[in-house]
Amino acid sequence: MNEFTGAAGFLIVLMFGLCYRLILGPRVYNRLLAAGAIGTFTIALLAVMGYLFERPDMFVDLALTYALLNFIGTVAVAKYLENHSEEREPGEPPEGIAG
């Protein structure tokens, strides 16, 4: 029981708070934003967990890989939503978008 345990528990509580917007987000964009934020919090959680398991040299590689994959995933889904939804003028009610 040290500072890293408290930091990891605090990060997990914050990620449950982000799950509020992930589940109840009005549209798919709010959900994608919350999912990206959870992924970014996971980077910090992985780095802190390295000290809990006393292997920070291994967990930092996991955190770095997770940072790359999180960015790629967010950009890929955002570009998919941009290209595969119906063309409409800004301000027109966006019906038909999932979420």
Binding marks (x or -) toward other proteins, 60..79, rule CB under 8 A?
xx-xx--xx--x--xx--xx
Q: Is 91 in the site for other proteins (CB under 8 A)?
A: yes
Q: Is 53 in the site for other proteins (CB under 8 A)?
A: no
Residues 6+ apart with CB under 8 A from 96: 85, 86
Q: Is 52 in the site for other proteins (CB under 8 A)?
A: no
Q: Is 57 in the site for other proteins (CB under 8 A)?
A: yes
Q: Which of 77, 71, 76, 48 is nearest to 60 (CA)?
A: 48
